[in-house]
């Protein structure tokens, strides 16, 4: 009856995406003074979620993987955010990274709110408050 609830999968995917994007943003901020470092980012969750229904081949992350198997959970591909704008070749803007970090926190909070609300609806439907 309640074995395949997509709302929980979506909330989990949104929270996971937020965590992975926060890690990329943190790496960008840590390398803000590294010469030649280019900021990286992950595509927006909405875009990734819309494209998740498409068929794609499995990716081998290590040579020991057989036919690309072994990936657990959803991972999002990183990409270079923009070209260098600093004389030393570093393209990280701390202000932009801070704004991205706030956006990611809001996304994570939204995922938790969806999860909490869904749990409340599920408990109510089962007659437990």
More confident residue, 110 or 49: 110
Let me know the angle formed at the C-alpha of 49 by 62 and 55, rounded to the nearest 5 degrees.
60
Rounded mean pLDDT, 8-15: 92
User: pLDDT for 18-28, tens place per residue?
Assistant: 999 999 999 99
The domain segmentation of the chain, as residue ranges, is: 6-125
Residue 14: pLDDT band (50, 70, 90) is: very high
Rounded mean pLDDT, 62-89: 61
More confident residue, 16 or 63: 16
Q: Within 10 Å of residue 128's Cβ, how many Cβ atoms? A: 7
């Amino acid at each position: 009856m309640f074995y395949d609830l997509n709302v929980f999968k979506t909330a989990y995917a949104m929270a996971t995406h937020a965590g992975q994007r926060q890690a990329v943003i943190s790496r960008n901020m840590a390398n803000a003074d590294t010469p030649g470092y280019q900021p990286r980012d992950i595509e927006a969750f909405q875009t990734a979620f819309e494209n998740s229904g498409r068929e794609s081949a499995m990716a081998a992350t290590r040579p020991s993987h057989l036919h690309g198997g072994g990936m657990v959970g959803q991972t999002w591909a990183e990409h270079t955010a923009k070209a260098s704008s600093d004389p030393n070749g570093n393209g990280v803007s701390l202000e932009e990274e801070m704004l991205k970090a706030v956006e990611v926190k809001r996304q994570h909070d939204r995922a938790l709110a969806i999860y909490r609300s869904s749990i409340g609806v599920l408990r109510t439907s089962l007659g437990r408050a």
